[in-house]
A and B are shown apart, each in its own frame.
Chain A
Amino acid sequence: MGPFLGGFGVLLALGVPIALALGLASFGYLFFTGNIGLMKIFPQRIFGSVDQFVLLTVPLFLLAGNLMNFSGITERIVRFANACIGHVRGGLSLVNVIASMFFAGISGAAAADTSALGSVLIPAMVRDGYPKAYAAALTAASSVMGSIIPPSIIMVIYGVLTGTSIAQLFVAGMVPGVMLCIGLSVYAWWMAKTHNYPVMERVTFRERANATVAAVPVLVLPAIILGGILFGIFTPTESAAVAVIYALLIGTLYRTLNWRTIWRPLVDTALTTSAIMLIVAMASMVQFIFSFERLPEQITRFMLGITENRYLLILMINILLLILGTFLEPIAAMIISLPVLIEVAKVIQIDPVHFGTIVVLNLAIGLTTPPVGICLFIACAIGKVSLEEISRAILPMLMIGIAVLMIVSYAPDVVLFLPSLAFDR
């Protein structure tokens, strides 16, 4: 397996897109191990891995986010967050974090948050005198909440891959999401104090009321999604479709969507979906090769051979997932690693909902870890900063994410008490 990983790494470093690097490395592995006949299976795996009902959550939640952004929802959220917290020192940076949390309640993917809020807030923060790299990094770091606070594409896929209750995972994601929000807010506030970032004018009571009223239709959507799932009106996958229909209604209501403009979010979503699915398809070949070589059993045995201490094993899983998340798209990372990790999780008898939260948190943080992270890339492109600059600025924020991750890993009750209240567990 060493040559496989090495080959994959070299291809990535030489600029091959991740999807093709996964495929090429698998192809090369079969070629050099004299198993080229197994190439016959690739088309079936590629087709079969995309031909999954649950993966419809990818285009649907992406589309919901794109439509929301397209129909001016983002501005309403920013205005609302501004009315809430804009008057504190470093107000706009706090708005960035808080707005991310609200947006996370609507979108299912962190990347949607980065591009939607980034396009509004990064230029605004730069105009107000914040350093470009800081504005971009804060946007990327806070958008991680998009994949943790429900709804979340990663959680739906985890639930289906492992047979865990998606509704419980959704509820369990609330607390870590809010913890991340608090952590980043405190950091932003501290940065504002030490760097003397600007304060904004306190908004009038009238504006505050107006901003709240304008945000109501937006704030209702998370309630519809979560309530709809909790009360059995629709399944988590269907909730994605409901979110889209709601976004279409809002867009029509606000007159921002019409027959001449609607093609744009649709095309954007379709192309992003295609690119993500190609990664999923190619990752399934890697997973196939791993299974064929019986790697999951070997790695499990190896890990349990090092230690049987549950706390150390959880730490090892966290490190493994962070590394994986750094280089791979979350769904692909789960396809490849879950067959192994579930075995280990069974041995240490970790609650599946708790474990799901750990996996999702790791992979979501991975979206913002340099050198590869889609949220990082989007924030760089919007803020016109280099990867080096944003990487330096985001480091302390990553530490906050990892601190939340550690709390979640070692204090399961933090995530499990909400699902225990909501469900008969």
Chain B
Amino acid sequence: VDLRLAHGSPRGHPNYTHADMLAGAIKENSNGDVNITVYGDRQLGDDRDMIQLVSSGTVDMGYASSVNFPLILNKVAFDALQLPGLVPTYDDLAKMLVSPPAIKMLDSLEDANLKGLCFSEGGQRHFLNRNGPIKSVEDFKGLKTRIVPIPLHKEIWQKLGANPIGVPYGEVYTAMQTKVIDGVEFNISSIAADKVYENANYVTLTGHYFWPGLFFMNKEKYDSLTPEEQKAIVDTCRELTPEFVMQTKGEEAKQIKILEDAGVEISEFPDRENLLAATEPVFEAWSAKDPLIGEYIEEAKKLNP
């Protein structure tokens, strides 16, 4: 069977690689039976479009960041993936993204006509700013910070004392250059790829939250496949999740090197405890929104008892 997989990540972004990895692995595991053509780099639309394209069956499979799901499908549970500091390292994330609550999130997409296949990771978020390295939570105070305008992120950055601003993705470079924003919370590969560092020289490795996303498939298309094909797709995808996460981790290390060579000053964040303390209230507020969020938090706490 021939399938089309579309995503909005640009060439060089970890997710671009993951889509190709997935297509190759599924073909191999199905003995060449499931043949996937990948359309990346926003060729068929951006992240937000993917959900619609797949949901309506125009494209068979897609990838979109988890931030989109609370927003446009009202699946608040996905916010659990971005609670600050809950999952500290890539290695922990690799386990969490295949944990039972995570799989429950994937399954919760059925009523939107989507079959959630598996998670992947786009890159931990760090802090890029113009004025100097961030040494303590105090330093966030009043910084005009570009965020993706969703309630969870707005809440987190307000709790940290920053002044969060929703600048459209395409305007980040100009906004930083013209000082409309002082900083941006971003993943390392986007900082490198979009050359945002040209206008801001300090990266603080805050690692405040991850940026997971998921591969999903049109539900009817999925149901029309043979059990063998279904198994090849879902199992391959879920088995690859840890590899995706580790690939992103490796990519981040490489990109940090590139940024250093470009003269960007990169520093560790020494005040993690206060960051966690300041954002603690968010956990409680969000747990009330969906039982799955509480479940995910419990699961995460088992990691490092």
Q: Are A and B in contact, CB atoms below 8 Å, in the complex?
A: yes
The answer to whether B173 touches A291, judged by C-beta atoms less than 8 angstroms apart, is: no
Known: A54-B170, A232-B178, A424-B199. A163 touches B194 (CB 8 A): yes
B251 touches A (CB below 8 Å): no
A339 touches B (CB below 8 Å): yes
The answer to whether B170 touches A235, judged by C-beta atoms less than 8 angstroms apart, is: no
The answer to whether A160 touches B168, judged by C-beta atoms less than 8 angstroms apart, is: yes
B159–chain A nearest beta-carbon distance, Å:
25
Residues of A within 8 A of B92 (CB): none
Known: A44-B52, A291-B43, A292-B44. A53 touches B179 (CB 8 A): no
Residues of A within 8 A of B43 (CB): 291-292, 296, 339
B49 touches A (CB below 8 Å): yes
A237 touches B (CB below 8 Å): yes
Q: B48-63: which residues lie under 8 A (CB-CB) from chain A?
A: 48-49, 52-53, 56-58
The answer to whether A237 touches B49, judged by C-beta atoms less than 8 angstroms apart, is: no
Residues of A within 8 A of B56 (CB): 40-41, 44
Tell me which of B39, B168, B198, B199 contacts A291 (CB under 8 A): B39
The answer to whether B194 touches A235, judged by C-beta atoms less than 8 angstroms apart, is: no
A423 touches B (CB below 8 Å): yes
Question: Cα distance A161–B52 when bound, in Å?
Answer: 21
Question: Cα distance A161–B170 when bound, in Å?
Answer: 7
Residues 50-67 of A, flagged 1 when their CB comes within 8 A of B and 0 if not, give: 000110000000000000
Residues of A within 8 A of B39 (CB): 291-292
Residues of A within 8 A of B29 (CB): none
Chain A residue at minimal CB-CB distance from B4: A292
A217–chain B nearest beta-carbon distance, Å:
24
B113 touches A (CB below 8 Å): no
B42–chain A nearest beta-carbon distance, Å:
8
The answer to whether B179 touches A232, judged by C-beta atoms less than 8 angstroms apart, is: yes
The answer to whether B174 touches A236, judged by C-beta atoms less than 8 angstroms apart, is: yes
B41–chain A nearest beta-carbon distance, Å:
8
Known: A44-B53, A167-B177, A232-B180. A159 touches B170 (CB 8 A): yes
B167 touches A (CB below 8 Å): yes
Residues 237-276 of A, flagged 1 when their CB comes within 8 A of B and 0 if not, give: 1000000000000000000000000000000000000000
Q: B126-185: which residues lie under 8 A (CB-CB) from chain A?
A: 167-168, 170-171, 173-175, 177-180
Q: B17-63: which residues lie under 8 A (CB-CB) from chain A?
A: 39, 43-45, 48-49, 52-53, 56-58
Chain A residue at minimal CB-CB distance from B10: A163
Q: A275-327: which residues lie under 8 A (CB-CB) from chain B?
A: 288, 291-292, 296
The answer to whether A237 touches B171, judged by C-beta atoms less than 8 angstroms apart, is: yes
A151–chain B nearest beta-carbon distance, Å:
13
Residues of A within 8 A of B57 (CB): 40
Question: Cα distance A237–B180 when bound, in Å?
Answer: 12
Question: Cα distance A424–B179 when bound, in Å?
Answer: 13
The answer to whether A163 touches B167, judged by C-beta atoms less than 8 angstroms apart, is: no
Q: A159-179: which residues lie under 8 A (CB-CB) from chain B?
A: 159-161, 163-168
Interface size of B by Cβ–Cβ distance < 8 Å?
A: 25
User: Which range holds the interface residue count of chain A?
Assistant: 20 to 34
B247–chain A nearest beta-carbon distance, Å:
24
Question: Cα distance A425–B39 when bound, in Å?
Answer: 33
Residues of A within 8 A of B170 (CB): 54, 159-161, 163
Known: A44-B53, A292-B44. A235 touches B171 (CB 8 A): yes
Residues of A within 8 A of B171 (CB): 54, 159-160, 166, 235-237
Residues of A within 8 A of B168 (CB): 53-54, 160, 237
Question: Cα distance A367–B174 when bound, in Å?
Answer: 27
A393 touches B (CB below 8 Å): no
Question: Cα distance A231–B167 when bound, in Å?
Answer: 17
Question: Cα distance A288–B199 when bound, in Å?
Answer: 34
A407 touches B (CB below 8 Å): no
A234 touches B (CB below 8 Å): yes
The answer to whether A230 touches B178, judged by C-beta atoms less than 8 angstroms apart, is: yes
Chain A residue at minimal CB-CB distance from B173: A165
Q: A218-242: which residues lie under 8 A (CB-CB) from chain B?
A: 229-237
Tell me which of A38, A40, A48, A229 contacts B178 (CB under 8 A): A229
Question: Cα distance A288–B46 when bound, in Å?
Answer: 12
B164–chain A nearest beta-carbon distance, Å:
15
Question: Cα distance A372–B175 when bound, in Å?
Answer: 36
Residues of A within 8 A of B180 (CB): 232-235
The answer to whether A288 touches B173, judged by C-beta atoms less than 8 angstroms apart, is: no
Question: Cα distance A292–B44 when bound, in Å?
Answer: 7
B16–chain A nearest beta-carbon distance, Å:
15
Question: Cα distance A221–B48 when bound, in Å?
Answer: 37
Tell me which of B44, B52, B179 contacts A288 (CB under 8 A): B44
The answer to whether A167 touches B44, judged by C-beta atoms less than 8 angstroms apart, is: no
Residues of A within 8 A of B167 (CB): 235
Residues of B within 8 A of A231 (CB): 178-179
B10–chain A nearest beta-carbon distance, Å:
9
Q: A329-356: which residues lie under 8 A (CB-CB) from chain B?
A: 339
Query: Which of A40, A44, A231: most chain B CB closer than 10 A?
Result: A44
Query: Which of A167, A232, A339: most chain B CB closer than 10 A?
Result: A232
The answer to whether B53 touches A165, judged by C-beta atoms less than 8 angstroms apart, is: no
Q: Ordered nearest first, which 8 A-B pairs have the shortest CB separation?
A: A232-B179, A160-B170, A291-B43, A232-B178, A41-B58, A166-B174, A232-B180, A165-B174
Between A and B, 10 residue pairs with Cβ closer than 8 Å are A41-B58, A44-B52, A44-B58, A48-B45, A159-B174, A166-B174, A167-B178, A235-B167, A296-B43, A424-B199
Excluding A41-B58, A44-B52, A53-B168, 9 further A-B contacts by CB distance (< 8 Å) are: A160-B171, A163-B173, A163-B194, A232-B178, A237-B168, A291-B44, A292-B39, A339-B43, A424-B199
A residues contacting B by CB (< 8 A) are 38, 40-41, 44-45, 48, 53-54, 159-161, 163-168, 229-237, 288, 291-292, 296, 339, 423-425
